[in-house]
Structure 1
Amino acid sequence: MTHSSTAKAAQTVAALLLSLASSAAIAQTGAMPHPVPAPVTTPAAAQPLSPPIVIAHRGASGLRPEHTIASYTLAIEQGADFIEPDLVLTKDDVFVARHENDITGTTDVAKHPEFAARRTTKVIDGESHTGWFTEDFTLTELKTLRAVERLPKLRPGNVKYDGQFEVPTLAEVIALAKQHSVGGRVVGIYPETKHPSYFARIGHPMEARLVAELKAAGWDKPSDPVFIQSFEVDNLKRIHAMTGLRLIQLMDASGGPADHAVPSYAAMVTPEGLKAVAKYAYGIGPGLAMIENGDAPPTTLVADAHAAGLRLHPWTFRAENIFLPPSLQTGTDPAVHGRIEDAMRRYLALGIDGFFTDFPGIGVKVRNALKEK
């Protein structure tokens, strides 16, 4: 879950720390069913959900390499309500879970001499990237790679798992969630379409394929345990016309959607902007700073969004000092864990309806403690 501006921030963090089955069938046939539209409706004024949901950001990615079955499984074991796969497409149009289509830093592809010639430079959402990309690999080829920790200096404990896990497909993530939805418990999925306009330009549109795969899994209603999220706007509007599943408009404190459907994210959080979002989305996924920037007083976004009938699922709570405001840090080492629990409590007290975290076990503990009061 990272907008282009957040991707730049992630690169800065990395530099700082260094210096210190259904999808396969569709791919075979190429046939894309067009589901009957079932638009989502939102309440005139949304009240905060009780209890708020805990969304495992890329799984339990603070404890296992992100977007692996091991990471998702641990998140489920820790009590997460939803697991979040970021979705990109392969050359043969199968959805796989990767933070980006650039897999240079999240797999061991650089160690595979048979793929050396596929290293290339591409411009994605206006930014130049050099590396290896999922759209240049078939699923069979991707399955020969193994996941590695994206932030090894920040999360050295995850490095010991490098090379152990495959790149999972969306079908495998769905199967995992269903496998653990037993005994009255329901584990949901919270997929994000990554760079949908880019993939459409290169001949790999996402929307109908995603809706079809989720419908094949039995999910197409607002009551089903699925949220679909995107930083882009037109992508979500097209999906809105195809399914009744709940949609979440992602946004960041700076910049705007890559499809340029609106001038900026700032324009989307005005009262009129939020009303426009509520016409196609169930809620918004703002960056944490849009609600409370560090130790500054909170904004009015929670109240404004609820007034427009929207839920809020902000992203992303991480335990490391570098991701926490100064008042909640422990010492000066950017990798040391600070007071993430207090950060979560701050936002829950403001009335958010759920939240993303790399440490879902902590999130569930904090949420449940408040629920019991």
Structure 2
Amino acid sequence: MAPSALKERLVGCGGQVPAPSAFSIGHRGAALLFPEHTKESYVAAARMGAGLIECDVTFTKDKELVCRHSQCDLHTTTNILVTPLASKCTTPFAPAADGAPATAKCCTSDVTLAEFRTLTGKMDGADAAATSAEAYLAGTAPFRTDLYAASGATGTLLTHAESIDLIRSLGAKFTPELKAPAVAMPFDGLTQAAYAQQLIDEYKAAGVPAEDVWAQSFRLDDVLYWVRAEPRFANQAVYLDGRYDVDAFNHTAPSTYAPTMRQLYEGGVRIVAPPLWMLLAPDGDGAMAPSVYARAARAAGLNLITWTLERSGSPPAGWYFQTVADLVRTDGDVLVALDVLARQVKVLGVFSDWPATVTYYANCVGLA
């Protein structure tokens, strides 16, 4: 890290005992080193001081809510392909052959909750060149590790209700994401609205107050449903802004695309969460600064959360820092970006695959 007042301050905090911070959000738990959305990953995130921990929520064949990043990721995040349940997958495993990659697609909606409970979590990844299911499952990204997902230390899968009990016992709060279904809705009578309501109902059943929950969705209609049906929970509902995938959307001119920031606020949205790069831009002096998107959101009265730190490997690269790629070349530069997000963009929190970094920073600058 280049010499700076920020570096001096961060080095000076080396002797601190960090406290948990709501600014530090465990993205899928602590997914850099632990199988995502497992008991082990959530415990690790809490030990690193994540004040909020995420359960991505989807449903099984019998319409029970479980924690998975995607409805159809069991083939890359669990051992399903080497179990008897492999035959129930939407697309059973097919080995790489004649230049074509290995394929598989296994969904939570392919199995019942009882069957889901027989699976174990692994580090997300797959080897597209594999000629066996075992080799396919071994495709962990090189910047992650299988150290905590090896035999005898596999990941314990959780239902959404179980995640609520666990996260509460760890002293953290909740940021569940309602995942977009990969199956046609209604699914066996389950409508999208009923699905969104089921997520909230499980917090109510557990006696969790609305102010401890930051429910999220990439589907604006889900957030607006909560605004109408669950206004207390909607106060902290998070619209995950995925409009970077829309060709007509320009994050450097967000007021030219509907819904605008003002329209989002007037519709009841209070928190917007885009990826890191949409909130950062180089200024005229070659430093990082808030983007046009960030300034427009704050001007409209919206609060901001962002994602995801520690997801690009080391040194940082690629998608998450694309607007400031020339300014984020080292791990130290990531801390500078984090400081800009906290002090200038004024985000409420930062998702991280290794929450210890954000927790350390938050404690050091008084955000714990």
Bucket of the pairwise TM-score, normalised by the shorter protein? 0.7 to 0.9
Higher relative contact order (CA 8 A, sep 6+): 1
Residue 293 to residue 146, structure 1, CA distance change in 2 (3 Å): farther
How do residues 73-112 of structure 1 correspond to structure 2 at under 5 angstroms? 73-102=43-72, 103-112=74-83
Residue 188 to residue 268, structure 1, CA distance change in 2 (3 Å): farther
**1:248-298, Cα deviation, whole Å (9 max, x unpaired):** 1111362249xxxxx758599428611222222220001111112588754
Partner of 1:285: 273
Residue 213 to residue 275, structure 1, CA distance change in 2 (3 Å): same
CA distance in 1, matches of 2:302, 2:181: 23
**1:22-67, Cα deviation, whole Å (9 max, x unpaired):** xxxxxxxxxxxxxxxxxxxxxxxxxxxxx87211110111121111
Q: Would you say the 8 A contact 1:305–1:311 is kept in 2?
A: yes
Residue 178 to residue 233, structure 1, CA distance change in 2 (3 Å): same
Partner of 1:211: 200
Letter in 2 for 1:311: N
Residue 147 to residue 93, structure 1, CA distance change in 2 (3 Å): same
Deviation at 1:198?
Answer: 4.8
How do residues 1-373 of structure 1 correspond to structure 2 at under 5 angstroms? 53-102=23-72, 103-120=74-91, 130-151=104-125, 152-162=140-150, 164-181=154-171, 187-196=172-181, 198=183, 200-203=185-188, 204-205=190-191, 206-219=195-208, 221=210, 224-243=211-230, 244-245=232-233, 246-252=236-242, 254-256=244-246, 269-270=254-255, 273-278=260-265, 279-292=267-280, 298-318=290-310, 320=313, 321-323=316-318, 325-330=325-330, 339-350=333-344, 351-371=346-366
Deviation at 1:168?
Answer: 0.9
CA distance in 2, matches of 1:268, 1:83: 32
Partner of 1:3: none
CA distance in 2, matches of 1:231, 1:274: 15
Letter in 2 for 1:329: R
CA distance in 2, matches of 1:349, 1:71: 29
Deviation at 1:226?
Answer: 0.6
SS in 2 for 1:315: strand
Greater radius of gyration (CA): 2
Aligned residues: 298
CA distance in 1, matches of 2:241, 2:340: 20
Residue 114 to residue 356, structure 1, CA distance change in 2 (3 Å): closer
Letter in 2 for 1:134: T
Partner of 2:134: none
**1:304-344, Cα deviation, whole Å (9 max, x unpaired):** 212222110011111613355354334xxxxxx67532331
Q: TM-score when scaled to structure 2?
A: 0.73
CA distance in 1, matches of 2:202, 2:180: 18
Residue 267 to residue 298, structure 1, CA distance change in 2 (3 Å): closer
CA distance in 2, matches of 1:101, 1:299: 33
Q: TM-score when scaled to structure 1?
A: 0.72
CA distance in 2, matches of 1:172, 1:364: 25
Identity %: 26
Q: Would you say the 8 A contact 2:276–2:307 is kept in 1?
A: yes
Farther-moved stretch of structure 1 (194-203 vs 272-281) = 194-203
Residue 286 to residue 273, structure 1, CA distance change in 2 (3 Å): same
Q: Unaligned stretches of 5+ in structure 2? A: 1-20, 93-102, 126-139
SS in 1 for 2:155: coil
